[in-house]
Amino acid sequence: MNPDIATPDFRIVEGKYLEDILDQPRALDATLGSLELSQPLTDLSRRLSEGKFHRVVLTGMGSSFHALHPLNLQLISQGFTALMVETSELIHYQSRFFDPKTLIVAVSQSGQSAEMVRLAKANGQRSCVIAVTNTPESSLVKHSTAALFTQAGREFSVSCKTYVTALMVLKFLGDVLCQRDPEQSCSDLKITVPSVAQYLSRWREHVELLANQLRRIRHLFFVGRGASLAAVGTGALIIKESDHFHAEGMSSAAFRHGPFEMLSHDTFVAVFSGDDKTRDLNQRLLADIQQGGGCAEFVGQDSALAPFRLDNHGDNIRPILEILPVQMITIALAALANREAGKFERATKVTTTE
């Protein structure tokens, strides 16, 4: 056997975390089927369009926070003042936003994390809150004005099903807040399910290719712009959670301001192509990294490597698809390390201590 070819041990990686990853098409389909426009949500959308809210504060922790990037950009593009704030920072340092002129969108898969419980107390119902969660009976929902639910089902550890379904719900929510037809929004999202299913049907092939690509890598970066910052931030987080392997996520521009100096044969950079506005800039960064001695691949429709090649279904769907190659990386790294991916040793599924 060629010593340069890594052969993943599928007996190690085929655990509950991988089962959750492969269950994502079902979770997305169930979530899509459950999306509906409630009267409280209709009322909040109308009040936002009438200028009754001066700002929309988007908040969450971990992957729930990163998932807010596409919604943030959508709201800003429609002329609304939108801000992304981690929930802990909002509670302790930006509590002046808790007033009737602020609309809060709070995302939490459990709705029971320490920060979300504290948010309900700190707000005291001064601001209207739209909850996005996988747990209808949670504290977050109890203290919300309106709620939208993911249908991910139980999740073993690292966020995968809850993340992609949250992105779907947040896209629907963004369309509602921007006065788009909710039926058209659901229609646009339908292509997500078969596209994710098709990609995951080749998961073994993806993992084998990535394991060979990453077997000598010591430093891992995810970089992108715009809505791709969701996958960039979440990607680095789940690599650390799943594999105990250090990874960093940042904007493509920020990578040139320091980390570019780290380029070497054991540094790998996944450059997310993103939308048309900055794709050329990301392409140029990819070329500069490769010329500078680093290993790099494009994540998008034009990728030369199959695990990073994504269907082009437009800007609405791209944020959901972009996390799939990172999930494959988590499995590949686990196989290389001969350990089960996504098995927590210190963390817990719900963070109950701030």
List, edge to edge, every strand of the sheet that includes 146-149: 82-86, 55-60, 102-108, 128-133, 146-149
Does the pLDDT of residue 1 top 50, yes or no? no
pLDDT of residue 340: 83
Superfamily of domain 24-189: Glucose-6-phosphate isomerase like protein; domain 1 (3.40.50.10490)
Is a pLDDT exceeding 80 seen at residue 342?
Answer: no
- Whether 24-189 shares its CATH topology with 194-337 is answered yes
pLDDT of 343 reads 75
Return contacts of 146-149, CB within 8 angstroms, 24+ apart: 146/38, 146/40, 146/41, 146/43, 146/44, 148/35, 148/41, 148/172, 148/173, 149/31, 149/34
What value does the mean pLDDT take over residues 166-179?
A: 98
- At 3, the pLDDT band (50, 70, 90 cuts) reads very low
Q: Between residues 223 and 340, which one has the greater pLDDT?
A: 223
Q: What is the pLDDT of residues 186-204, one digit of tens each?
A: 999 999 999 999 999 999 9
53: its two tokens:
């809210």
197's CB contacts (< 8 A; 6+ apart) are: 25
Would you place residue 9 in the very low, low, confident or very high pLDDT band (cuts 50, 70, 90)? low
Which range is least confidently modeled, 60-69, 160-169, 251-260, 344-353?
344-353
Contact assessment for residue 311 and residue 195, using Cβ atoms and an 8 Å cutoff: yes
Residue 6, pLDDT > 50, answer: no
Distance CA 78, CA 58 (A): 16
Calculate what percentage of the chain has a pLDDT beyond 90: 90
Q: Tens digit of pLDDT for each residue in 21-48?
A: 999 999 999 999 999 999 999 999 999 9
90-103: burial string, b at 16+ Cβ within 10 Å, e else = bbeeeeebbeeebb
What pLDDT score was predicted for residue 312? 92
For residue 256, what are its two tokens? 């040139």
Least confident of 13-17, 203-207, 313-317: 13-17
Q: Which two tokens stand for residue 24?
A: 């994502």
pLDDT given for residue 5 in this prediction: 45
End-to-end CA distance of the chain: 50
Q: Which two tokens stand for residue 226?
A: 């715009």
Query: What single letter denotes the amino acid at residue 69?
Result: H
In this structure, which amino acid lies at residue 4?
D
In the chain, domain spans: 24-189, 194-337
Q: In angstroms, rounded to a whole number, what is the distance separating the alpha carbons of residues 131 and 73?
A: 19
What percent of the chain lies above the pLDDT cut of 70?
A: 95
CB of 130 closer than 8 Å to CB of 42: no
pLDDT, residue 348, reads 63
Q: What is the pLDDT of residue 267?
A: 96
Higher-confidence position of 164 and 8: 164
- The CATH architecture annotation of domain 194-337 reads 3-Layer(aba) Sandwich (3.40)
Q: What is the distance between the alpha carbons of residues 340 and 351, in angstroms, rounded to a whole number? A: 21
Mean pLDDT score across all residues of the chain: 94
pLDDT in tens, 90-143: 999 999 999 999 999 999 999 999 999 999 999 999 999 999 999 999 999 999
- H/E element holding 279? helix 279-291
CA 269 to the chain's CA centroid: 18
**What pLDDT is attached to residue 345?**
66
Mean pLDDT of 287-302: 95
Contact 235, 331 (CB under 8 A): no
Over residues 150-175, the mean pLDDT reads: 96
